[in-house]
Chains A and B, each alone.
Chain A
Amino acid sequence: MDAAKKEELLKRLSQGVVEFEDDEVKEAAEEWVATGEDTYDAIFDGLVTGMEEVGRLFSAQEYFVPEMLMAADSLYIGLDILKPHMKQRDTNVKGTVVIGTVQGDVHDIGKNIVKMMFDVAGFDVYDLGRDVPLEDFLKKQLETKSDIVCLSAMMTTTMMGMPKVIEMIKEKNPNCKILIGGAPITDDVAGKFGADGTAKDASNALEEAVKMVVALKDLQKNS
């Protein structure tokens, strides 16, 4: 695909999300897939960029909740088409992850995109969904003995559930690594909450997770 075509498709994907034109998103996504190229850029520079614009429009009181919902629906239509065609990432490590959006919070786009990165890296992922009761993270971790638990929160209110989950899990299983993220999460917040790490986007989330799994394996080797 040449640069001009790529530019055009990215624009149609992001605009399609902003204007919640389901058909436009679907067609642009299908065209991208037909080129046979990795869909990574289509997802991040197309769909996610569009959703960032939606966030700005919401802050400017141009968009309200119905518009955000419609845009989220369009994004998911594109994601469903593009996701299966994202190239596998070879990271040389495979981990087990429990992931979910914390109680009270229904924002799940970011969480699903992080999950997608784990999927293409060949991790085993247990997705608890959104608005997840805090104890469920502990339950699932104990059941799956996962290396990592990933918590997502998009609101300053709901992120306050995170330290509670972290405490619960660390008490039962101090070796389990906890990675948190979402718009209100900074390095500072992650440190205060007692998390083992955070990442500002999905690729960094995978990078962090890989480091964590490597550290865990080293720990096991040495003990």
Chain B
Amino acid sequence: MNPKQTVFSAMEMNKPPRVPVAPFGCGVWTIHRSGTTFKTLSQDPELMAKTNLEIYKQFKPDIVYVGSGYNNLHAAALGGTIKYREIGAPDLEEPYISDLSDIDKLDIGKIPDDPVIQTIWEAARIVKKEIGDEAVVTVTAWGPFTLAAQLVGVEKMMRATFKNKELVNASCDFAVKMIQAIFGPLVDDKTIELISMADPTASGDLISRKQFEKFALPYIQQMTSWSKSKGSKSLLHICGDTNNRLDLLGETGADCISLDHKVDLAKAKSEIGNKICIAGNVNPVHVLDRGSLDEVRRVVGECLHAGAEGGGFILMPGCDHPPTVPDENLKVFYDMAKQYTR
């Protein structure tokens, strides 16, 4: 099996000959390594593709993420302004949905006109052309609840979950349409066969199980069934402590769920491991970034031990990893999975 087949085999709940291994997103790290900036890349698809291909050559991850870190620019395609920072991913400066009527004024049809989205599309096509069917090529976006919270403003969205449920539902509905418009052309022409979403505002540290079930899950399900209907797979990352809602993560319809380091991997494996492929969950900061080689070895070993049995598992950091992660630590992370055949 080649790397792509290895990943898809695990996502189809089989046991590939070795454990697939990939980062999650890691746009900030990728761009930092290439010595360039988010802003420069946003106008240069060739260069954006090059940063991905360089990383691919060096570390041979089984999944390559194009346009990672640009999720807030998706939001900016229909309004608002973007603030670029010296380090880290850009921010949307002002939310632009304050009530239901604002949503009616927005035109999804304008997504393809956005220059940054065009750059990401073109970069994905270049990367796909180079990598072909050897590894999985994907593009990243926010999950519906997180994108909607960007459009509405995070604090306002949080209050609206109690005070204005209509606004939460309508903005999540709209976010689903936006995300579909962003992935659509790439899924249609098979540039990507996996969509990748992160939903940090629906994190287990921010909202309750009840709210996750009411406001995040239904829209995630809309995305995953849309992806299926297009013949694509889906990878979903939920941040934070989700130990009390693993069963709900099993119902997202995603082909793979990426778990934060706060989740007990063995517990996840026994609760939902026969239902959905699990990815995780090496602590990206305390272990990958700041840990010694021995610590990386120990924690990666623990993750493999807890997750790999019977297949349906991908080794991944518990979240996006910081730009400062030492190469030696990453090398251990990749090598250990690739050598893990049990």
Least CB distance from A68 to B in Å reads: 9
Contact with B along A43-54 (1 / 0, CB 8 A): 000000000000
Contact of A64 among B159, B163, B211 (CB under 8 A): B211
Contact with A along B195-213 (1 / 0, CB 8 A): 0000000000111100100
Nearest B residue to A70, CB-CB:
B162
Pairwise interchain contact B159-A70, C-beta atoms closer than 8 A: yes
Contact with A along B134-171 (1 / 0, CB 8 A): 00000000000000000000010011011100000000
Q: For the complex, give the distance between the alpha carbons of A27 and B205 in Å.
A: 33
Q: For the complex, give the distance between the alpha carbons of A34 and B341 in Å.
A: 75
Pairwise interchain contact A66-B244, C-beta atoms closer than 8 A: no
The dominant DSSP class at the B interface is helix
Residues on A with beta carbons closer than 8 Å to the beta carbon of B211: 64, 66
A105 is an interface residue with CB less than 8 A from chain B: no
Nearest B residue to A66, CB-CB:
B158
Q: For the complex, give the distance between the alpha carbons of A73 and B156 in Å.
A: 12
How many residues of B are in contact with the other chain, CB < 8 A?
Answer: 13
Contact of B158 among A20, A61, A62, A65 (CB under 8 A): A65
Residues on B with beta carbons closer than 8 Å to the beta carbon of A69: 155, 158-159
Known A20-B162, A69-B159; contact A64-B207, beta-carbon cutoff 8 A: yes
| Residues of chain A from 52 to 86 with CB closer than 8 A to chain B in the complex | 61-67, 69-70, 73
Residues on A with beta carbons closer than 8 Å to the beta carbon of B206: 64-66
Nearest B residue to A61, CB-CB:
B244
Contact with A along B20-64 (1 / 0, CB 8 A): 000000000000000000000000000000000000000000000
| Residues of chain B from 101 to 131 with CB closer than 8 A to chain A in the complex | none
Residues on A with beta carbons closer than 8 Å to the beta carbon of B162: 20, 66, 70
Residues on A with beta carbons closer than 8 Å to the beta carbon of B205: 64-65
Least CB distance from A59 to B in Å reads: 12
Residues on A with beta carbons closer than 8 Å to the beta carbon of B161: 66
Residues on A with beta carbons closer than 8 Å to the beta carbon of B155: 69
Nearest A residue to B208, CB-CB:
A64
Nearest A residue to B206, CB-CB:
A65
Q: For the complex, give the distance between the alpha carbons of A62 and B162 in Å.
A: 15
Nearest B residue to A63, CB-CB:
B208
Residues on A with beta carbons closer than 8 Å to the beta carbon of B159: 66, 69-70, 73
Least CB distance from B257 to A in Å reads: 20
Q: For the complex, give the distance between the alpha carbons of A168 and B207 in Å.
A: 38
Least CB distance from A53 to B in Å reads: 17
Nearest A residue to B201, CB-CB:
A65
Q: For the complex, give the distance between the alpha carbons of A20 and B162 in Å.
A: 10
| Residues of chain A from 97 to 126 with CB closer than 8 A to chain B in the complex | none
Nearest A residue to B161, CB-CB:
A66
Pairwise interchain contact A65-B207, C-beta atoms closer than 8 A: yes
Q: For the complex, give the distance between the alpha carbons of A107 and B208 in Å.
A: 20
Q: For the complex, give the distance between the alpha carbons of A188 and B163 in Å.
A: 42
Chain A interfacial positions (CB closer than 8 Å to B): 20, 61-67, 69-70, 73
Chain B interfacial positions (CB closer than 8 Å to A): 155, 158-159, 161-163, 205-208, 211, 241, 244
Q: Which 3 A/B pairs are nearest by Cβ-Cβ distance?
A: A66-B158, A64-B208, A65-B206
Q: A64-B207, A66-B161, A66-B162 are in contact. List 4 more A-B contacts (CB 8 A).
A: A64-B206, A64-B211, A66-B159, A67-B208
Could you write out 10 A-B pairs with CB less than 8 Å apart?
A: A61-B241, A63-B208, A64-B206, A64-B211, A65-B205, A65-B206, A66-B158, A66-B159, A66-B211, A70-B162
